[in-house]
Amino acid sequence: MLGFTSHEEVEVGMKINTLGIPLAVVALLVLGGCSTQTVVTLQNGTQYLTKDMPKTKTKDGFYEFEDISGAKVKVRADEVATVREED
């Protein structure tokens, strides 16, 4: 024990629960908002729907991303026509 009486421990626990639950909900909403689905369209018309904005062009000239099915995709930058957020 930290020198609290049982009544004080209950009050501290209630304060943590009172503040902790709303803060956890807010954190989940904020983290959920971080994920922005993106459509990557290639020059040939192929479209990929991604979970997040793809990494910008790498040193070797590729875009790398994960599509919504979880597949890792690597595409040459010159094959990409557009990268836009999903409406």
Q: How many domains does the chain have?
A: 2
Residues 30 and 46 in one domain: no
What's the CATH number where 80 sits? 2.30.30.100
Residue 69 or 25, more confident: 69
Residues 46 and 79 both lie in one domain: yes
Same domain, 53 and 19: no
Residue type, 19: L
**CA distance linking residue 35 with residue 69, whole number of Å:** 15
Residue 60 belongs to domain spanning = 38-85
Question: Are both 50 and 21 inside the same structural domain?
Answer: no
Q: Residues near 86 by Cβ (< 8 Å), separated by ≥ 6?
A: 36, 37, 38, 39, 49
Residues 6+ apart with CB under 8 A from 39: 47, 48, 49, 50, 82, 83, 84, 85, 86
pTM, two decimals, is 0.57
- pLDDT, one tens digit per residue, over 52-76 is 888 776 788 898 889 999 999 999 9
The reply to whether 66 and 42 lie within a common domain is yes
CA-based nearest residue to 67, from 50, 86, 52, 83: 50
